[in-house]
Structure 1
Amino acid sequence: MKFSFLLPLSIFSSLLPTLSSAADTRHVVEPNYPATCSVIYARNNLITADIQSALNKCGPGKAVQLSSNGSMNTFLSGALNMPSGVSLLIDKGVTLKAINNASAFDNGKKTCGTINGDGKGCNALITFNNSNNAGIYGEGTIDGQGSAVLNDKMTSWWDLAQKAKAGGNQNAPRLIQINNSQNITLYKITLKNSPNFHVVFYKSNGLTVWDTTINTPANARNTDGIDPISSRNVTVAYSNISTGDDNIAIKANPNSGSSRDMSFIQNNFGSGHGLSIGSETIDGVYNIDVNGLIMSGTDNGLRIKSDKSASGEVAAVNYNHVTMSNVKNAIMMDTIYENKSGSTKANWHDITYNDITVKGNSTIIFNGTNAAKPLQATMIDMHLPTNITWKVINANIKK
């Protein structure tokens, strides 16, 4: 392994791949805006029904456009469902805001806005179910109002999440939920203040997130940026993510299928828990490419995490040309992340770190305590501070 003084990422810009050569098996290019089927103008009242009606009437390949109306530029909405083939286009300066009322998102269990049961009592603000070739476009904003006091609960979503730390699961809506869908696009949109996870891509094939911003405070608990779960063919490119939990969390949930073929190209992360694989890896995570990532002030950098409850195989993961500044744990492979009970063991191998720059005090951790065999990783052209701390247990690191 080669150690050197710290160098700026800019000198490596010519080495970054085109998206077509990345792990995503699709040929991914910058998206284009869809044609508009109808325009809705902002007004000072709850507008869920009008937006939903317009979406339902819109033809495949087209979008409902949300536009300002004089000085009015905010749309207040409850839960929305996206028909297959139909998109939402939010104009620059326009905000689609989640109404601060838990009942607007309750899915019938009467638990939304409470600490109760499995934590699945709320619908997302925007849901894609069995949808193909759809998305959310525009330079506008989607605001989940995570800090706003709920009119029917007299607490905020984020306060509810903090109370759940003492035990139980908070029932809070995600901002965007995508299930069993294909070729979904998020383009140029800003997402902020989600009550829970911002974007979940579940058992789906083909997600493009391009020039998108996620901006939520570091103390907002359980506000993951983008979570691809048991899915394939994901590209996140030229995007900025700051949040209160994992910036990215790639998962392979039990009995849901593997996650594979994902590219994360030229992104910037601020606050958050880093680019994570796990904690559920039991159905396998394969062929992940991270290239040109800049992280500043994240708690963790490049992290693979799991434990006895849901460990599986992780292989063919390549981290290239990554710069980290003031990151507590720059590199981490942790097989006892939460030390839950269970009988599964990690099998993590063919993990490569190439041209990784770390600035400031940091730690590198390879903890293979719950691994079926020693963790396997290769490090090439590492640019690390001389005082970096290493913690290695049951791991073979090729340098």
Structure 2
Amino acid sequence: MQRIFSLFGIVLLTFASVAIAQDTRTVVEPAIPPACITLHAHLITNSGTIASADELKLDTDRIQQAIDHCGKGHAVTLRVDGTRNAFLSGPLQLRDGVTLLVDKGVTFFASRDPALYQTAPGSCGIVNQSGHGCKPLISVQNVSGAGIMGDGVIDGRGGAKLLNKDVTWWQLAEQARPNGRQQVPRILVADHADNFTLYRITLKNSPNFHVVYNNGNGFTVWGLKIDAPRRGARNTDGVDPGNGSKNITITHSFISTGDDDIAIKGGTGGVTNMTVSHNHFYAGHGMSIGSETNGGVNKIRVTDLSLDGPDNGIRIKSNASRGGLVHDVVYDDICIRNSPNPITFDTGYTAAGTLQGNSLPTYRDITLHNIRISGGGKISFNGYSQDHRVGATLDNVLLTDKANYTYSLRHADITIDPGPVNLNLTGGTDSTLSGIAAKGSPASCTDKFVPFPR
């Protein structure tokens, strides 16, 4: 009996060694810095927007001047003033060590004027074939220690018609199908922004990606809420860390959007040392890696996540035009319900354009531990070729109901060890299955699924 207990303890310790957080920093809940200046609202919200007569009453200059003159370690605070509770702005730039604090009750609206965002005359608010024709609403470039915090809302107004145009940002995205590119702004783009923090803020209705973080070391997202429609809000990713970034933590957050809830984009420079913990996802395309994996993605830990009704659940996607090595990835304590694709490992991702190229995708050393799935759907482990495969270990991965599940396996090596798995993973093309699938008693997901906090 003692021998059996010791072996069981070794198994637990072995899993603990791979499941620990991979952000190498010690991450604690952020603290709101003291204010260097407080700006009071001049505008009033009306049914979730501002009056048409106020659309040219921009706060851009006074907010930017406050940011420019604020000292490191301090915050520019946006605050209500009686019934006045709204700010309206075009593009802003955060400075070194400065936080933008959107206070409770404040809505910070993005201007609907594409001319304010254009990078060249006429470049924004159109559909063309290439380039980035629009500045983001908030840029964080080549600074350290900046942040966006507060219990207020930043609204990108993706579904509102542009000034002097009979089209919304999201309608431009639809017009760009299948081969065009919508020239629309993102809410936040951080580049070379070490130790950047998002804390408690709500971002909603971005015209494109809500948050992009590239080329940085140290990115903390804590208590973030992202809210955009499930349909009609194309390419409205939640949080996209990528391209040379490391030491990232996304935790205690709620994301519901029209595209990937999180997309780890391992383009040039790759992504490493990332922790995703204690989060809730709703509408969207799930917890994604890709489609860019050509720079490599590794040392990723996803734990304590609920995915309630997403188009995809756990997802790794790439193709031969942008593929690379994805490895050392652990998913632990995940509840997925009512997703058409609860697990999707895809090396032939078509939405990124051409499938042809010399950047071939390989996924290996992927661990799925304590995963509970309900509501049916398709489970896919599809490698690219005989030499570029999907390799995954399944440990306590269980379907919790008798809904309809289908499977796709191609160039896949699946290991079941040591816990029970009741997926029907027999057959497949050029695939192997090690271990014996068994029945088990899944832990309850009842407390995992909570309403989106609005």
What TM-score bracket applies, with the shorter chain setting the length? Answer: over 0.9
What secondary structure, in the 3-state scheme, does the structure 1 residue paired with 2:145 have?
strand
1:241 aligns with 2:258: no
State how 1:220-259 maps to structure 2 within 5 Å.
Answer: 220-230=233-243, 231-253=245-267, 256-259=268-271
CA RMSD, Structure 1 to Structure 2 (Å): 1.5
Residue in structure 1 matching 2:410, options 379, 393, 396? 393
For 1:174 and 1:60, how far apart are their aligned partners in 2? 25
Structure with bigger RCO (C-alpha 8 Å, 6+ apart): 1
Could you report, residue by residue, the CA deviation over 1:107-155 in whole angstroms, capped at 9, with x for unpaired residues?
2252100002424000000000011011001000000000111013331
Unaligned runs of 5+ in 1: 1-15
For 2:117 and 2:235, how far apart are their aligned partners in 1? 18
Amino acid at match of 1:154: D
- Once the 2 structures are TM-superposed, how far is the Cα of residue 374 of structure 1 from its aligned partner? 2.6
Residue in structure 2 matching 1:46, options 54, 58, 62? 58
For 1:316 and 1:175, how far apart are their aligned partners in 2? 31
For 2:148 and 2:285, how far apart are their aligned partners in 1? 25
1:189 aligns with 2:204: no
Mark the structure with the bigger radius of gyration. 2
1:129 aligns with 2:141: yes
Residue in structure 2 matching 1:329, options 341, 357, 371? 341
1:207 aligns with 2:255: no
For 1:197 and 1:114, how far apart are their aligned partners in 2? 17
Runs of 4+ in 1 over 2 A off after TM superposition: 369-374, 385-388
- Once the 2 structures are TM-superposed, how far is the Cα of residue 323 of structure 1 from its aligned partner? 0.1
For 2:152 and 2:385, how far apart are their aligned partners in 1? 45
Task: Find the counterpart in structure 2 of residue 354 from structure 1.
Answer: 369
Amino acid at match of 2:36: C
Does the CA contact (< 8 Å) of 1:150 and 1:156 recur in 2?
yes
Does the CA contact (< 8 Å) of 2:361 and 2:384 recur in 1?
no
Amino acid at match of 2:236: T
Task: Find the counterpart in structure 2 of residue 290 from structure 1.
Answer: 302
Does the CA contact (< 8 Å) of 1:335 and 1:370 recur in 2?
no
- Once the 2 structures are TM-superposed, how far is the Cα of residue 372 of structure 1 from its aligned partner? 3.1
For 2:131 and 2:172, how far apart are their aligned partners in 1? 11
Amino acid at match of 1:396: D
Unaligned runs of 5+ in 2: 1-14, 44-56, 417-454
What secondary structure, in the 3-state scheme, does the structure 2 residue paired with 1:180 have?
strand
Task: Find the counterpart in structure 1 of residue 433 from structure 2.
Answer: none
With normalisation by structure 1, the TM-score equals: 0.93
1:100 aligns with 2:107: no
How many residues align structurally? Answer: 380
- Once the 2 structures are TM-superposed, how far is the Cα of residue 371 of structure 1 from its aligned partner? 6.4
- Once the 2 structures are TM-superposed, how far is the Cα of residue 390 of structure 1 from its aligned partner? 1.6
For 2:73 and 2:384, how far apart are their aligned partners in 1? 50
Does the CA contact (< 8 Å) of 2:252 and 2:277 recur in 1?
yes
Moved more, 170-179 or 339-348: 339-348
- Once the 2 structures are TM-superposed, how far is the Cα of residue 203 of structure 1 from its aligned partner? 1.1
Call closer, same or farther: CA 1:156–1:371 in 2, change over 3 Å: farther
State how 1:297-376 maps to structure 2 within 5 Å.
Answer: 297-338=309-350, 340-370=355-385, 372-376=387-391
1:61 aligns with 2:73: yes
Task: Find the counterpart in structure 2 of residue 381 from structure 1.
Answer: 396
What secondary structure, in the 3-state scheme, does the structure 2 residue paired with 1:106 have?
coil
What secondary structure, in the 3-state scheme, does the structure 2 residue paired with 1:165 have?
coil
Does the CA contact (< 8 Å) of 2:383 and 2:389 recur in 1?
yes
Task: Find the counterpart in structure 2 of residue 273 from structure 1.
Answer: 285
For 1:75 and 1:248, how far apart are their aligned partners in 2? 28
For 2:408 and 2:223, how far apart are their aligned partners in 1? 36
1:154 aligns with 2:183: no
Amino acid at match of 2:411: N
Moved more, 165-174 or 382-391: 382-391
For 1:96 and 1:128, how far apart are their aligned partners in 2? 17
For 2:397 and 2:377, how far apart are their aligned partners in 1? 14
